[in-house]
Amino acid sequence: MEATTFVLFGATGDLAKRKIYPALYNLFVDQKLPQSFSVIGLGRRELSDETFQANVEQSLRMFSRREANDPAILKNFLQAFRYSVLDVGRKEDYQKLLQLIEQREEELRLSPNRMFYLSVGPEFFETIAANIQESGLGSANGWKRLVIEKPFGHDLQSARDLNQKLSKAFAEHEIFRIDHYLGKPMVQKLEVLQQSNPVLQALWTNRYIANVQITANETVGVEERAGYYDHVGAVRDMFQNHMLQLLMMLAIHLPNNSTSENVRLNKKMVMESLEPLQKEDVISHIVRGQYGAGTIQGKPVVGYTSEPSIAETSRNDTFIAAKLRIDDYFWRGVPFYIRTGKRMNEKSTRIVIEFKEPFKQSSWANDDSKMPNLLVFEISPNEGITLQLNTRDPQHRGEFKPIQIDFHASGDDVPEAYENLIHDALHGDPTFFAHWDEVELSWKWVQPILEAFEENLVPLHLYAAGTYGPAESDALLAKDGYHWWFDA
């Protein structure tokens, strides 16, 4: 891998501590970082290099997948880290940064390849990108890349504005938009599973699949993110990005040579084939919910509007369920149901594929005992694949018995999403990042929902914390003769 300088804006922030430093450390231990490597942390606070390194070390002790207890490895890792004060709007700070980067490139004999990671609020993206360009930080004789966190825009127009501004300083192939769901190992396997297993490949169509269910449930409430979340809701925080990315990753059909370009092209085709919703259709395709008081794991919790810093009158969505259709050769007629919510009964992200039952009316067996074939991808917190089949019940002749064929990966061996993503960004592999086309098409699809919510054209259903969301979410599937699988 090419020598690189990793420039981290927001080096004193929460995301850096919990995800980025542990990811870098685990990559280092696995020898997946470039041989010559320099990290420059940036923040508003004055910090010495030693204090910065001590902070990084502490974050590894708290959050790293692998224990950071080998002093020699730790020392080698931490010696790559330097710190510089930078306020995003102060131009002279970028000049200081440039000097520091050049000095380190000389000391370590690094080629001037620079990766700028923006772990700061989205209100700073534009200023930072412009200052990188103006200061000359991005015009050295190597490559430059920009890694940015979500949210990418607040709606279609703001996303377009932001993209236009970023593209003045960085070309599309230099921008790596993180959607950390794309970094999850099981999500990264979806494409390979389908492509390298003829059994799955043959079944991946409307001929055999009855419906697809994508769920991402959390048990936590709004926590300390009230100010942000109350303006965003489940539709912007989860649905527009993570949920639609899961849909794309599941629904793509790839040719044999699945290059990064193919993946992106096919994801775009999925989004272009999504039947658009008109504002007046939102009410029949989307369920909007907000959690009320209830019980989570035996503990009483307050409702959303009683959370600190949330107005009693807030009509923000903490739950969304949706029915989507992909109007293409493979998926025409297959409903895709997507739901995501806070304060749900369980923390779980999974995809369930329910297969059709062409022999439902067979006369030689008790039909009630027959279950549909299900293929389940468990994405988090545990990773696994289950296939549900029917066999004969030896105890009750004439009845079926469902069995599950299971694969589950064990925790410590599985790299975290941020490890995969940082590794790929360092390699310049854009496969598991959100291309602008996908982001734009996602916002475009979601825009009528945003407007319908804004104009209160869709009722806001209360659901008790600790449940699976409002009853209307069940009704959305019941209308088509289905139900959500695995709700207790």
DSSP character for 240?
A: I
Pairing of strands 335-341, 209-217: parallel
Give the nearest distance from C-beta 235 to ligand NAD in angstroms: 16
Residue 15 found at the interface with ligand NAD (CB under 6 A)? yes
Q: Which residue(s) pair with 216 in the sheet?
A: 340, 349
Decide whether 20 or 476 has the Cβ nearer to ligand NAD.
Answer: 20
Residue 477 found at the interface with ligand NAD (CB under 6 A)? no
Decide whether 11 or 439 has the Cβ nearer to ligand NAD.
Answer: 11
Amino acid at 390: N
Give the nearest distance from C-beta 9 to ligand NAD in angstroms: 6
Give the residue from 254, 243, 270 showing the smallest Cα distance to 190: 254
91 annotated among ligand-binding-site residues? no
Decide whether 220 or 389 has the Cβ nearer to ligand NAD.
Answer: 220
C-alpha–C-alpha distance, residues 60 and 481, integer Å: 49
Residue 10 found at the interface with ligand NAD (CB under 6 A)? yes
Give the nearest distance from C-beta 88 to ligand NAD in angstroms: 4
Give the nearest distance from C-beta 295 to ligand NAD in angstroms: 26
Q: Is there a contact between 41 and 11 (Cβ–Cβ < 8 Å)?
A: yes
Amino acid at 51: T
Q: How far is CA 136 from CA 162, 312, 399, 409, in A?
A: 21, 49, 73, 46
Residues classed as catalytic: 242
88 annotated among ligand-binding-site residues? yes
Among residue numbers 159 through 198, which ones bind ligand NAD (CB under 6 A)? none
Q: Is there a contact between 9 and 117 (Cβ–Cβ < 8 Å)?
A: yes
Give the nearest distance from C-beta 90 to ligand NAD in angstroms: 8
13 annotated among ligand-binding-site residues? yes
Among 7, 26, 28, 43, binds ligand NAD (CB under 6 A): 43
- The answer to whether the peptide bond before residue 151 is cis (omega within 30 degrees of 0) is yes
Give the residue from 11, 42, 439, 31 showing the smallest Cα distance to 245: 439
Grouping H, G, I as helix, E, B as strand and the rest as coil, residue 403 is strand
218 annotated among ligand-binding-site residues? yes
C-alpha–C-alpha distance, residues 33 and 5, integer Å: 11
Among residue numbers 120 through 159, which ones bind ligand NAD (CB under 6 A)? 120-122, 149-150
C-alpha–C-alpha distance, residues 435 and 432, integer Å: 9
Decide whether 81 or 485 has the Cβ nearer to ligand NAD.
Answer: 81
Residue 271 found at the interface with ligand NAD (CB under 6 A)? no
Decide whether 24 or 477 has the Cβ nearer to ligand NAD.
Answer: 24
342 annotated among ligand-binding-site residues? yes
Identify which range of 9-17, 212-220, 253-261, 360-368 contacts ligand NAD by CB under 6 A.
Answer: 9-17
Among 1, 2, 12, 258, binds ligand NAD (CB under 6 A): 12
Amino acid at 145: R
Give the nearest distance from C-beta 331 to ligand NAD in angstroms: 30
Among 14, 50, 224, 406, binds ligand NAD (CB under 6 A): 14
Strands (E) across 262-399 are located at 286-292, 294-296, 299-301, 319-325, 335-341, 348-355, 374-380, 384-392
Q: Which residue number is nearest to ligand NAD in terms of Cβ?
A: 13
Decide whether 16 or 162 has the Cβ nearer to ligand NAD.
Answer: 16
Give the residue from 296, 317, 172 showing the smallest Cα distance to 238: 317
Identify which range of 5-13, 63-71, 157-165, 252-260 contacts ligand NAD by CB under 6 A.
Answer: 5-13
Amino acid at 193: L
Decide whether 10 or 430 has the Cβ nearer to ligand NAD.
Answer: 10
Q: For residue 464, is it left (φ>0), alpha (ψ between -120 and 50) or beta?
A: beta
C-alpha–C-alpha distance, residues 23 and 287, integer Å: 37
Q: How far is CA 205 from CA 202, 212, 267, in A?
A: 8, 11, 16
Residue 380 found at the interface with ligand NAD (CB under 6 A)? no
Among residue numbers 48 through 107, which ones bind ligand NAD (CB under 6 A)? 86-88
Q: Dihedral through CA 269, CA 271, CA 275, CA 277, nearest 10?
A: -160
Among 30, 44, 76, 327, binds ligand NAD (CB under 6 A): 44
Amino acid at 7: V
Among residue numbers 100 through 119, which ones bind ligand NAD (CB under 6 A)? 119
Give the residue from 101, 164, 169, 163 showing the smallest Cα distance to 133: 169
120 annotated among ligand-binding-site residues? no
C-alpha–C-alpha distance, residues 32 and 427, integer Å: 10
11 annotated among ligand-binding-site residues? yes
Binding residue ranges: 10-17, 44, 87-88, 150, 180, 184, 218, 237, 342, 347
Binding residue ranges for substrate: 180, 184, 218, 237, 342, 347
Binding residue ranges for NADP(+): 10-17, 44, 87-88, 150
Query: Which chain residues interact with ligand NAD by CB under 6 A?
Result: 10-16, 43-44, 86-88, 119-122, 149-150
